[in-house]
Structure 1
Amino acid sequence: MTKTKVLLSWSSGKDSAWALHQLRQDPAIEVVGLFTTLNQAFERVAMHGVRKQLLMQQAECVGLPIEAIDLPWPCSNEDYSRIMTGFIEGVVARGIRHMAFGDLFLEDVRAYRERQLEGTGIRALFPLWGSDTRLLAREMMEAGLKARISTLDPKKLEMSLGGHEFDEALLAALPDGVDPCGENGEFHTLAYDGPMFMLPLAIKTGETVVRDGFVFTDLLPLND
């Protein structure tokens, strides 16, 4: 049987890690690689704030090649569209016809991704779509997925939760109305271990800073 080759959008966080795990459960699918957009000026994953060096190590730990797409800062819609169009054309040229995303329930985000791929020959897959995030968060934890908060919105969460483990204590500390998986942008994570990892990513927690209205906790390679 010829497997369906899939390229996975990789944020470095728990949801994309769990999407990888789910895709790998399907014998008809082969995840052939990851892709991530980076803020070129800071060499960090957009929104998650994860260092490029850590991102590359993380990809090695899950056993997949990763393509880092550098975006200028600031990045206009025109620049973003041009850069992503070129990237998608290259993916199609390699014979890949599917891209997967770890989105859970935001209809506007899904519609945007589908519009972006319309007419390109690429079909979007959403392996986690429609999940009950209360159940999903605990399913991830029970399966051994480990992650730490790298970014949070201080209007929705206490700053002290920066760098916190994605665990039961975190869920208990979340205010009412905050999604357990942070799907509304309340927080973002760096995944460092779990069933999708061949070996754990060794990390330590650095300083926490406030920038552009968000709280960023610098996660670092353990041996730095």
Structure 2
Amino acid sequence: MERIKAVFNWSGGKDSAHALLRAIESGRYEIVALLTTVNRESRRSTMHGIPLPLLRAQAARIGIPLHEVALTPAGDMADYAEAMRRTAEHFKTLGVTHSIFGDIFLQDVRKYREAQLAPLGITVVEPLWGRTSEEVMGEFLASGLRTVVVTTMADILGADAIGREIDPAFVASLPPNADPNGENGEYHTFCYDGPIFRSPVPFRLGDPFRRSYDVRLDDGSVRTYSYWFADLGAI
């Protein structure tokens, strides 16, 4: 059976790694690239804050080329949409017809992806979709993938969660208002080892630091969000 040409949207975290593993195991896809978005100034991934050298190290050990899309730090959704449109058109010229993501249940996020990609003739694939958070976490823990926490929402998890391995003890320690997979942004991770990697990715965590951001909501009000970050770096 001829495999479907696809690009995989790579964040460097556990759900991304888990979805990539499932896509590879399915045998249906020829994944031509790991697509990642990075902040043009900080050279870190926009979602997880993973430094570009570590993203490149992950891709090298997975054995799939990394395609980097640099985004403007203060850019809005229109800037993002335009950058991703140009990227999708580039991959269309390579025969790519599918784009794979690691979402679980955020319906509005999936609808946005489909609305952006469908006009370009690209189908969205979600290998983890349709399961509960508990089911996905159980599958992840059984997968052999290894990740550490690199970002937390300060009002849900503190600095002491930074650097913790995702294992049954960590999941059991989460507060009742936290999604087990961090699907609502409670925490983000860095995946460094497991069956998709030829060898572990060396990294250092450094000391946690805290930053706050003001976000203007739809009603015009401003809300401050605070996060703890690992001083993640390559070795």
Instruction: Determine helix, strand or coil for the equivalent of 1:6.
Output: strand
1:186 counterpart residue number? 186
Deviation at residue 67 of structure 1 after TM alignment: 0.6
1:154 counterpart residue number? 154
Considering only aligned residues, what root-mean-square deviation do their CA atoms show, in Å? 1.2
- Please tell me whether residue 128 in structure 1 is matched to residue 128 in structure 2: yes
| TM-score normalised per structure 1 | 0.95
- Contact 2:128–2:136 under 8 Å retained in 1: no
1:38 counterpart residue number? 38
Cα distance in structure 1, aligned partners of 2:18 and 2:43? 24
- Contact 1:47–1:151 under 8 Å retained in 2: no
- Please tell me whether residue 220 in structure 1 is matched to residue 223 in structure 2: no
Deviation at residue 105 of structure 1 after TM alignment: 0.5
Deviation at residue 158 of structure 1 after TM alignment: 2.1
- Please tell me whether residue 55 in structure 1 is matched to residue 27 in structure 2: no
Give the aligned residue type for 1:45. S
Relative to structure 2, which stretch is displaced further, 66-75 or 210-219?
210-219
Q: Aligned ranges for residues 99-138 of structure 1 at < 5 Å?
A: 99-138=99-138
Cα distance in structure 2, aligned partners of 1:87 and 1:182? 28
Instruction: Determine helix, strand or coil for the equivalent of 2:206.
Output: strand
Deviation at residue 207 of structure 1 after TM alignment: 1.8
CA offset digits 1:4-51 (Å, max 9, x no partner): 011110000011101111011122222221101101111100121110
Deviation at residue 78 of structure 1 after TM alignment: 2.6
Give the aligned residue type for 2:68. A
CA offset digits 1:144-180 (Å, max 9, x no partner): 1100111110111122101211112211210002111
Cα distance in structure 1, aligned partners of 2:191 and 2:96? 26
1:9 counterpart residue number? 9
Relative to structure 2, which stretch is displaced further, 92-101 or 126-135?
126-135
Cα distance in structure 2, aligned partners of 1:103 and 1:136? 11
1:140 counterpart residue number? 140
Instruction: Determine helix, strand or coil for the equivalent of 1:31.
Output: strand
| TM-score normalised per structure 2 | 0.91
- Contact 1:4–1:29 under 8 Å retained in 2: yes
2:97 counterpart residue number? 97
Instruction: Determine helix, strand or coil for the equivalent of 2:231.
Output: strand
- Contact 2:158–2:228 under 8 Å retained in 1: no
- Contact 1:44–1:51 under 8 Å retained in 2: yes
- Is there any run of 5+ residues in structure 2 with no aligned partner, and where? 213-225
- Contact 1:101–1:126 under 8 Å retained in 2: yes
